[in-house]
Structure 1
Amino acid sequence: MQGLILRLREVLLAGHMLPYKLIYFNMRGRAELSRYILAYAQIPFKDQRVEWKDWPFVKSSFPLEQLPVLEMEGCLLNQSLAIARFLAKEAGLAGKDRLEEAQADALVDSLNDFTLCIPWREEDQKLKKEKIDKLFDCHAPKLLSFLEKHLEDRDWLVGDAVTWADLYWHVCFTTFTVLRPGFARHHQGLCTLINRVESIPQLARWIQNRPVSEF
């Protein structure tokens, strides 16, 4: 799989083609997992970022008037996890067999469920803080225990190799840490996994060079 990816990249670079255009706002948000996967696989892509001031004028051209959207071969694919799952399979990050794929899916969905509970659009700042505190005090411990159960004493969350679930844990960890610094400090294995993901050279380069944003 990796050999095919490398050959694809060489052909595309030689022909000055980019197979994918990933369209999202100028932030990490719901596109960052797909960016991680593309960076990991070293697949060239156009990281097109839409500024908030321009969004009202262009949103009608996207499925369900939402982002992110992956453009490929004249097709627009929407839904962030559908995009990431497709790319994970392309990059060999979905799992080695059907069981591993299902386990990785379950971990990604569990992380995503927690992310969706964050009151991003709550305008009352006091109420927003109360909701975030409750989320991290009551629900984060269950999520962390669930992740630790899968990790056990292995290097990766699923099987013996990195999957998109490990990458999504890093994406979520980065965001959760902004909201609650040190939220996972008592889970050494999960913190070590963060360092392990960051030690992957192509991901380290992406993290170092990506545009800076709070979320």
Structure 2
Amino acid sequence: MSSYKVTYFNITALGEPIRFLLSYGGQDFEDNRITLGKGKGGEQWEKLKPSTPFGQMPLLEVDGKVAHQHLAICRYLGKKFGLVGDNDWEALQIDTIADTVNDYRLKLVPTYWIDDEELKEKNYAEAIKTTIPFYLERINDLAESGYLANGKLSWADVHLAALLDYLSMLTRFSIVDKYPNLKKVQNNVLALPSIKAYLAKRPKTDF
């Protein structure tokens, strides 16, 4: 049996989809949480950073081998746990929507993760008029069935459900309250017994 270790900050964000997927697959894993500090992430992270493949987290160790890039890791775990669809076309639909959700997240970075408060608010004002409705309306339309792709559970659903609290923080309103189909996706994932068990034991964090 393989051993797994997830290394990420002590928050949800990009580490949480990996934690969700390992939990879905019934895999025990070491949940290595790095203290999030001021500036570039904190003293603990600055000491660890030079030893990482590309100076970023999250990291997944599988039997001592290290991988980075959270979407690539999620695809790997999705394949491992049977959440990639029944054929190449279904897999493409899953990849497409997961990449789109990540595009949306990246477009919100300038509205939150910058130090210039005036520019941050200017960026947010623009995003609330354009980027946020553009993406969320379309993703919500795709999720009418309660799933993002192919009308059934995939790793893209698990990925989104794990990110929703973080995305709501970036968006500054509850996404699932405004976009009911995304609430369906969240409910379908959070109802899974293995995800329920993980949520019952995970540490409480600010986001």
* Counterpart selection for 1:107 from 97, 113, 132: 97
Normalising by the residue count of structure 2, what TM-score does the alignment of the two structures yield?
0.86
1:112-159 deviation line (CA, Å, top 9, x unaligned) = 01111222431122332332332233112221232233223x232222
Q: Which residue of 2 aligns with 1:136?
A: 128
- The gaps in structure 1 that reach 5 residues or longer are 1-11, 13-17
- Partners of 1:137 and 1:172 lie apart in 2 by 22
Once the two structures are superposed, the pairs formed by residues 33-112 of structure 1 within 5 Å of their partners are: 33-51=17-35, 52-112=42-102
Q: Which residue of 2 aligns with 1:4?
A: none
Secondary structure of residue in 1 paired with 2:6 = strand
Q: Is the 8 A contact 2:16 2:163 kept in 1?
A: no
- The gaps in structure 2 that reach 5 residues or longer are 36-41
RMSD: 1.9
Q: Which residue of 2 aligns with 1:173?
A: 164
Q: Which residue of 1 aligns with 2:148?
A: 157
1:83-133 deviation line (CA, Å, top 9, x unaligned) = 111111111112222111111111111110111122243112233233233
- Partners of 2:115 and 2:32 lie apart in 1 by 28
- Partners of 1:65 and 1:177 lie apart in 2 by 26
The letter of the residue matching 2:10 is: N
Q: Is the 8 A contact 1:111 1:172 kept in 2?
A: no
The letter of the residue matching 2:159 is: Y
Q: Which residue of 2 aligns with 1:22?
A: 6
The letter of the residue matching 2:181 is: G
- Partners of 2:93 and 2:64 lie apart in 1 by 32
- Partners of 1:19 and 1:142 lie apart in 2 by 41
Structure of greater Rg:
1
Change (3 A) 1:137 1:107: same
- Partners of 1:91 and 1:171 lie apart in 2 by 16
Secondary structure of residue in 2 paired with 1:156 = coil
Change (3 A) 1:124 1:104: same
Normalising by the residue count of structure 1, what TM-score does the alignment of the two structures yield?
0.83
Change (3 A) 1:124 1:107: same
* Counterpart selection for 2:182 from 190, 196, 205: 190
Q: Is the 8 A contact 1:104 1:165 kept in 2?
A: yes
Q: Is the 8 A contact 2:78 2:155 kept in 1?
A: yes
Q: How far did residue 184 of structure 1 move?
A: 4.7
Change (3 A) 1:69 1:124: same
Secondary structure of residue in 1 paired with 2:186 = helix
The letter of the residue matching 1:135 is: A
